Amino acid sequence: MANEIAKGPAAPGVAKVDPILVADGVRREFGGLVAVDVEHLEIPRGKITALIGPNGAGKTTLFNLLTGFDKPNTGKWTFQGRDLAGVPAFKVARIGMVRTFQLTKALSLLTVLDNMRLGAKHQPGESLLRALVRPLWRKREAEITVAAEELLKRFKLDAKSDDFAASLSGGQRKLLEMARALMSKPVLVMLDEPMAGVNPALTQSLLEHIKGLKDDGTTVLFVEHDMHMVRHISDWVIVMAEGRIVAEGPPNEVMKNPAVIDAYLGAHHDSDLGADKIAKEAN
């Protein structure tokens, strides 16, 4: 597996065969405290990559930096060869790198369907002047609505489409947020803890959706605490601790890496890292 993805033996910052995102020297400090200090990072195209690490490892901060929601003190990164440093968040999303948030950001007073429609690209009616001339955007709106309804069906939210997003459960909001991110047909989806707060009945279907994304050719990068999920769906795992990347590799190798066990568990060496609980549940 490592040979398919990485150019050399698995190690922090290893070069990838076909990287979609390459970051160099990305560093972010908060009042003297180093939150992120990544020397070199490559994300493989068309794969599912997991970003793991203990609380405060800087995973979400790295997400924020790469997607333009925060600015690093230093650093450069490219997406599909395009320099992204200093590019504002909305432009990052437009060129195909769409993220979700750890704390779900469903737009409560919009209907579920409107949430979805807002995710779409190329709606001329989103410009102030053209908004006034309905014929200019009616056709595109119909296309968007069809696409939105299709995705909602896939995520089993179609029954809710005319309800306010505020009425959804926490897990449903996670699903909505993910579905909404897919409306723009992104090249790279970055999911920040997609499983947090989702009840077990939904986790399995969420896992299937993420695998389905890969089958459609979308690259996935996700932050997760749940080791079971990481082991089950990821092709590659990157481990962060104290702002740095401490290990990389295929899931099974990484889980055995003493540096990871050290970073991840600290004193709790005897804990089980990769129990196949989900698999058992699924069976």
Partner 1 sequence: MDLIVALQSSFGELITAGTAAFVLCAIGLAIHFGFTGLLNFGQAAFAAVGAYGYAIAALDFKAPLVLSVLFGLLCAVIFAVLLGIPTLRLRADYLAIVTIAAAQVFKFVATSSAITDPSGNVITGGAEGLSEFGGTFYSLNPVPAGEYQVFGNSLTQDQIWVDIVGWLLVVVCALLTYFLTRSPWGRALKGIREDEDAVRSLGKNVYLYKMQALILGGCMAALGGMVFVINSQTVQPTVWGTNFTFTIWTVLLLGGATTVLGPIAGGVVFFTLFAFIQKVLEGLVAIHWMGSLTIPQVGQIRLILVGLALMLLVIFRPQGLFGNKKETLFNG
Identity of the residue, 54 or 125, whose beta carbon is nearer to partner 1 in the bound complex = 125
With residues binned 3-state (H G I as helix, E B as strand, rest as coil), the percentages for the chain, rounded to 5, are 40, 25, 35
Identity of the residue, 85 or 136, whose beta carbon is nearer to partner 1 in the bound complex = 136
Question: Least distance from C-beta 122 to partner 1, angstroms?
Answer: 10
Among 33, 128, 201, 267, binds partner 1 (CB under 8 A): 128
Among 40, 69, 158, 235, binds partner 1 (CB under 8 A): 69
| Amino acid identity for residue 176 in this structure | L
Identity of the residue, 143 or 276, whose beta carbon is nearer to partner 1 in the bound complex = 143
| Alpha-carbon dihedral sign for residues 209, 212, 217, 221 | positive
Going by the DSSP 8-state scheme, the letter that residue 83 receives in this structure is E
DSSP assignment of 197-264: T--HHHHHHHHHHHHHHHHTT-EEEEE-S-HHHHHHH-SEEEEEETTEEEEEE-HHHHHH-HHHHHHH
Angstrom distances, CA of residue 44 to CA of 8, 79, 129: 13, 11, 41
Q: Kindly name the residue from 39, 42, 149, 193 that is annotated as catalytic.
A: 193
Does 265 contact partner 1 by CB under 8 A? no
* Residues across the chain: 283
Does 100 contact partner 1 by CB under 8 A? yes
193 has catalytic annotation? yes
Identity of the residue, 187 or 263, whose beta carbon is nearer to partner 1 in the bound complex = 187
Q: What is the token pair recorded at 158?
A: 């179609």
Q: What is the token pair recorded at 169?
A: 């459960």
Among 3, 74, 108, 252, binds partner 1 (CB under 8 A): 108
Spatial distance between the Cα atoms of 172 and 182, rounded to a whole number of angstroms: 15
Bridge partners of 147, per DSSP, are: none
Among 77, 79, 101, 222, binds partner 1 (CB under 8 A): 101
Among 7, 71, 82, 134, binds partner 1 (CB under 8 A): 134
How many other β-carbons are positioned within 10 Å of the β-carbon of residue 87? 17
Does 109 contact partner 1 by CB under 8 A? yes
Q: What residues numbered 179-198 form the site for partner 1, per CB under 8 A?
A: 180-181, 183-184
Among 7, 9, 83, 127, binds partner 1 (CB under 8 A): 127
Q: How many amino acids of this chain bind partner 1 (CB under 8 A)?
A: 41
Spatial distance between the Cα atoms of 246 and 1, rounded to a whole number of angstroms: 20
Residues with a known catalytic role = 193
**Interface contacts to partner 1, rule CB under 8 A:** 67, 69, 88-91, 93-94, 98-101, 105-110, 114-115, 117-119, 121, 123, 125-128, 131-132, 134, 137, 141, 164, 166, 177, 180-181, 183-184
